[in-house]
Amino acid sequence: MDKFKSAVILAGGKSTRMEFDKQFLKINKRRLMDNIINKLKQEFEEIIIVTNKPEYYLGLSHKVVSDEIKQKGPLSGIHIGLKESSSKYIYFIACDMPIINIDYIKYMKNEINNKDVSACVTKLGDWIEPFNAFYNKDLINDIENHLLEDRRSVFSLLKKLNTFYVEEKDARKFSPNWDMFLNLNTKEDLSNYLHLIGNEFNG
């Protein structure tokens, strides 16, 4: 079995800060989600979308699922993503992360290939980056217990487990300005990003 067969895109959030649903964001007349899917196809055989609006994905050839434990934030999406996927390690990315770094994905795979870890996440100072990361399918029960205690933080969950951390300085070799972790939370984030790539926001 391919240990790294599956990738999950989380698109089940409320987009409160962006004020429109980020999963439908278009850049240069193309849906960002479609770009993410196409990129991930280079590296993963199975792609799963976790969305709160599955009716907008009818006809897509990938698996589309919704949270089973609702209203608990990203861990809800990680939970169902792990349940629905069919490999040991599952790659997770958010629907508002426009820059996929395939070399870094390959690097993480190689780092954990011969290890048995709960997750592979990257450090940023004292913090971690919860996406552009791998999680072990084994975590389903741990996440359920964490959420039952009404704890929602990915980092506090990972601290309790056997997590493999990539050091910030090692990750920066792949992405010196950290763009592979860029996520578009606000309209300002979006307009900065569009400016960077030389586009205007066109809805």
Ligand X SMILES: Nc1nc2c(ncn2[C@@H]2O[C@H](COP(=O)(O)OP(=O)(O)OP(=O)(O)O)[C@@H](O)[C@H]2O)c(=O)[nH]1
Q: How far is the CB of 176 from ligand X (least distance, A)?
A: 23
Instruction: Confirm or deny that 148 is annotated as ligand binding.
Output: no
Residues in touch with ligand X (CB under 6 A): 10-17, 22, 50, 67, 72-74, 76-77, 94-96, 183, 185
Residue 82 or residue 95: which is nearer to ligand X going by CB?
A: 95
Instruction: Confirm or deny that 2 is annotated as ligand binding.
Output: no
Instruction: Confirm or deny that 147 is annotated as ligand binding.
Output: no
Residue 35 or residue 185: which is nearer to ligand X going by CB?
A: 185
Q: How far is the CB of 81 from ligand X (least distance, A)?
A: 8
Q: How far is the CB of 23 from ligand X (least distance, A)?
A: 7
Q: How far is the CB of 84 from ligand X (least distance, A)?
A: 11
Q: How far is the CB of 10 from ligand X (least distance, A)?
A: 4
Residue whose Cβ sits closest to ligand X: 13
Instruction: Confirm or deny that 171 is annotated as ligand binding.
Output: no
Residue 6 or residue 76: which is nearer to ligand X going by CB?
A: 76
Residue 37 or residue 95: which is nearer to ligand X going by CB?
A: 95
> DSSP 3-state assignment of 148?
helix
Instruction: Confirm or deny that 96 is annotated as ligand binding.
Output: yes
Catalogue the long-range contacts made by 164-167 (C-beta closer than 8 Å, 24 or more residues apart).
164/111, 164/112, 164/115, 164/117, 164/119, 164/120, 164/121, 165/120, 165/121, 165/122, 165/123, 165/128, 166/107, 166/108, 166/111, 166/120, 166/121, 166/122, 166/123, 167/123
Instruction: Confirm or deny that 22 is annotated as ligand binding.
Output: yes
- Residues marked as binding for Mg(2+)? 96
- Residues marked as binding? 10-12, 22, 67, 96
- Residues marked as binding for GTP? 10-12, 22, 67, 96
